Structure 1
Amino acid sequence: MAKVTGPKITGLGGVFYVVKDPEATRAWYRDVLGLEGDYGPQLMWSEETCEAPYSLVSHFKDDQYIKPGIGGFMINMRVDDCDGMVAQLKDKGVEILGTSDEGYGKFAWLLDPDGVKIELWEQCEAP
């Protein structure tokens, strides 16, 4: 990775998109994923325990990885226990679209109430 000098981006600041009912969507993120904050669902990176955590902006030529989500984008959220989170979500009646263990991380996918695809990612080792 190239060393950047001067001002630099340090992590994911947020994802912004339009929904029909912002309060219902905020409630879903709070009640289902346990995310809340003054301005919407908020992730506190200071709780990250991974040795070398990172965020990624990834580009795709087509939307096959985003489907069945709508809107042409997906939200990736880091988790500390993907299997445990999947079990917790299933207990709440959330449909899990799939799971995968890629060696460098475990993944799971679901849709929020507005059809936006969410990818859960547990980083298993430093890149």
Structure 2
Amino acid sequence: MERVRGIGGYFLRARDPEGLSRWYRDNLGVVAEDFDGYWFQQGGPTVFAPFSEDTDYFGSPAQKTMLNFRVVNLDAMLAQLKAGGAEVDHRIETDDNGRFGWAVDPEGNRFELWEPVDGISDPGDLV
């Protein structure tokens, strides 16, 4: 059976696509300008997980998806986002897979930041 190899793109509606692209570039280092900018990711696992339609994990019930970004240093990334004026959730959660934090982009899209534990490099490593 053929299998996909990971997420090849993430697309979202935006009131100001150029402004939101700049925000993601300036605050998270994600190059998302037009289709000429490709963001080459460092290797690592990607989780695909449907959630119950009544979950509050994404924040607003109107938000149908949430993107999770792998980061090396969660504390530094959250501080960078705060310094840039982003809404940052004060909670940090930790489990056997690593540490998790959340923030909201200028258009109200909540996203998750994940600092994996050392050694997670294969889906079989996830707890």
TM more than 0.5: yes
State the partner residue of 2:17. 22
State the partner residue of 1:9. 4
State the partner residue of 2:27. 32
Greater Cα shift, 64-73 or 24-33: 64-73
Question: How do 1:100-111 residues align onto structure 2 when only pairs under 5 Å count?
Answer: 100-111=93-104
State the partner residue of 1:3. none
SS in 1 for 2:113: strand
Correspondent of 2:46 among 45, 55, 78: 55
Correspondent of 2:59 among 44, 67, 75: 67
SS in 2 for 1:30: helix
Unaligned residue ranges in structure 2 (runs of 5+):
121-125
SS in 1 for 2:9: coil
Distance 2:108 2:37 in 1: 17
Distance 1:59 1:31 in 2: 30
Residues 35-89 of structure 1, C-alpha deviations (whole Å, 9 max, x = no match): 11452775422x34xxxx2101111112311113742111111111112211222
Q: State the TM-score, normalizing by the size of structure 1.
A: 0.79
The number of equivalent residue pairs is 117
Correspondent of 2:40 among 44, 54, 61: 44
Go from structure 1 to structure 2 and tell me whether the alpha carbon gap of 1:79 and 1:40 turns closer, same or farther (over 3 Å shift).
farther
Q: What's the C-alpha RMSD, in Å, of the aligned pairs?
A: 2.1
Matched to 1:36, the amino acid is V
SS in 1 for 2:103: strand
Q: Check the 8 A contact 2:20/2:106 in 1, yes or no.
A: yes
Q: State the TM-score, normalizing by the size of structure 2.
A: 0.79
Go from structure 1 to structure 2 and tell me whether the alpha carbon gap of 1:30 and 1:70 turns closer, same or farther (over 3 Å shift).
farther
State the partner residue of 1:83. 75
Q: Check the 8 A contact 1:108/1:120 in 2, yes or no.
A: yes
SS in 2 for 1:87: helix
Distance 1:35 1:79 in 2: 12
Question: Shift of residue 93 of structure 1?
Answer: 2.3
1:119 paired with 2:115, answer no
Q: Check the 8 A contact 1:29/1:41 in 2, yes or no.
A: no
Matched to 2:110, the amino acid is K
Identity %: 32
